[in-house]
């Protein structure tokens, strides 16, 4: 299995360029099949989830070309093959093939999604969306069967603004008959990105980025060239790193409007950041202050940065708390941080962090993507050598992370 080896406590300086958003591209790739002409996606992140989704496209007889700059997807010979291989279960975002294949063929069979364990991750809201559009479903032996005679636009009221269910409903609705309205839609920038992508392909969508999204079904979609938005979680991760070790670090190719929650949190912790258009300069702070964080849907503090900010708070002088409201079990990194010397107490959905405690290099395990990133940052600030086992989790979501960190003088490498 993959390991990352880090010799820590080295100040970092230079530029880190942010790539396209993981949680956007993982929806754009399945969404591409809704057009039978060529779609090109630029600024894609070089992450393993992308390569798995491209492999899945091949099972559908969709041809793809990958260059360093773009992914080209040509679905002119697409076949509605049941997607039952274990690849489907190796990541969460394979669930976007449900909405896309249902939208295109009105029926599909797929293996249920997998992804990081963060507590139970049901897909009932996705199914509620499909059912409202006139689809029947059945789940048996890890397989889901979706079937509609025709998809008919309706009003859908979600009890919670789920990112995945909002996107999946959009995917199923763009080619449906009539008008679909999603109430209590998720408002994350990735929702807007997917809506913009579909709109460029000829879909009629309004309201993305607000809690009411309207979709008027069209007969077909055409090809397009599209540039993915910057990854706000990747940017937030490196901003947190800069707050700890930046001498300074410059984070380039960001959209700072998407980073409000993390920038204000860093500011509360006494971190200095300077924004200039799509660049942010961040200096390490000599005396980090404690704070209290509660995760929330966008524009609140993102759950995907919760584990990473926890590493920073181990270096704040005083008591901090982090309350997780989106997932029931997203603290698996804390045991590993404790091994490295952190003082963290877990209480249901809240952790209490007493700082500052120096961290020492240790052998730890990445149990999930963002938890793994939190350990990489811990390793970079720790004295001595840290070995992160199961590092493949980190590569699922951070584009060229080793090269990017080496470029800013980190002592980090992969090992087997």
Stretch that binds ligand EPU, among 116-124, 172-180, 205-213, 249-257 (CB under 6 A): 116-124
| Bond from prior residue into 248 cis (ω within 30 degrees of 0) | yes
Read off the tokens for 213.
């999204």
CB within 8 Å of 44: residues ≥ 6 apart: 19, 20, 25, 50, 70, 71, 228
Which residue of the chain is nearest ligand EPU when measured via CB?
Answer: 164
Q: Which is nearer to ligand EPU, 12 or 173 (CB)?
A: 173
Give the whole-angstrom CA distance, residue 346 versus residue 326. 16
Q: How far is the CB of 354 from ligand EPU (least distance, A)?
A: 26
* Residue 304 in the binding site for ligand EPU (CB under 6 A): yes
Q: E strands of 93-245, at which residues?
A: 107-111, 136-140, 143-147, 155-157, 179-183, 204-206, 212-216, 224-227
Q: Does the annotation count 116 as an active-site position?
A: yes
Give the whole-angstrom CA distance, residue 178 versus residue 164. 22
Among 116, 135, 269, 334, the one annotated catalytic: 116
Q: Which is nearer to ligand EPU, 116 or 173 (CB)?
A: 116
Among 93, 229, 308, 309, binds ligand EPU (CB under 6 A): 93
Q: Is 65 left (phi over 0), alpha (psi -120 to 50) or beta?
A: beta
Give the whole-angstrom CA distance, residue 43 versus residue 50. 12
For β-strands 318-323 and 292-294, DSSP reports them as parallel
Count residues binding ligand EPU (CB under 6 A). Answer: 26
* Residue 88 in the binding site for ligand EPU (CB under 6 A): no
**Interface pattern 306-335 for ligand EPU (x via CB under 6 A):** --------------------xx--------
Q: Which is nearer to ligand EPU, 160 or 183 (CB)?
A: 160
Q: How far is the CB of 197 from ligand EPU (least distance, A)?
A: 14
Q: How far is the CB of 173 from ligand EPU (least distance, A)?
A: 16
Among 122, 140, 141, 257, binds ligand EPU (CB under 6 A): 122
Q: Which is nearer to ligand EPU, 96 or 256 (CB)?
A: 96
**3-state DSSP assignment of residue 129:** helix
Task: State the catalytic residues.
Answer: 116
């Amino acid at each position: 299995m993959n390991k990352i080896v880090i010799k820590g406590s080295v100040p970092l300086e230079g530029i880190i360029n942010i790539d396209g958003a993981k949680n956007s591209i993982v929806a754009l790739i399945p969404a591409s099949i809704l057009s039978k002409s060529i779609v090109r996606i630029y600024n894609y992140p070089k992450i393993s989830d992308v390569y798995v989704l491209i492999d899945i496209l091949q099972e559908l007889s969709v041809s793809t070309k990958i260059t360093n700059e773009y992914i080209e997807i040509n679905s002119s010979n697409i076949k509605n093959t049941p997607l039952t291989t274990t690849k489907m279960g190796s990541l969460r975002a394979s669930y976007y093939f449900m909405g896309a294949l249902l939208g295109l063929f009105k029926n599909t069979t797929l293996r249920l999604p997998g992804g990081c364990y963060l507590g139970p991750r049901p897909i009932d809201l996705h199914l509620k969306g499909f059912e409202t559009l006139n689809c029947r479903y059945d789940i048996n032996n890890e397989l889901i069967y979706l079937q509609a005679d025709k998809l008919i636009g309706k009003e859908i009221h979600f009890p919670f603004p789920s990112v995945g269910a909002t996107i999946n409903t959009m995917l199923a609705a763009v080619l449906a008959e009539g008008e679909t309205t999603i109430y209590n839609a998720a408002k994350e920038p990735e929702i807007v990105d997917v809506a913009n992508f579909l709109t460029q392909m000829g879909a009629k969508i309004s309201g993305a980025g607000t809690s009411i999204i309207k979709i008027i079904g069209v007969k077909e979609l055409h090809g397009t060239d599209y540039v993915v938005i910057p990854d706000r979680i990747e940017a937030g991760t490196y901003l947190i790193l800069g707050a700890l070790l930046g001498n300074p670090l410059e984070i380039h190719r960001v959209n700072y409007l998407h980073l409000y929650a993390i920038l204000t949190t860093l500011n509360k912790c006494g971190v200095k950041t300077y924004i200039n258009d799509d660049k942010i300069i961040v200096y390490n702070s000599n005396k980090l202050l404690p704070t209290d964080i509660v995760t929330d849907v966008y524009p609140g503090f993102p759950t995907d940065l919760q584990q990473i900010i926890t590493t920073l708070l181990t270096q704040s002088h005083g008591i901090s708390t982090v309350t997780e409201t989106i997932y029931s079990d997203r603290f698996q990194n804390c045991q590993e941080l404790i091994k490295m010397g952190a003082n963290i107490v877990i209480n249901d959905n809240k952790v209490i962090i007493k700082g500052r405690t120096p961290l020492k290099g240790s052998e730890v395990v990445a149990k999930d993507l963002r938890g793994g990133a939190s350990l990489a940052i811990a390793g970079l600030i720790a004295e001595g050598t840290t070995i992160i086992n199961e590092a493949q989790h980190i590569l699922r979501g951070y584009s060229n992370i080793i090269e990017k960190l080496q470029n800013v003088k980190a002592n980090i490498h992969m090992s087997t």
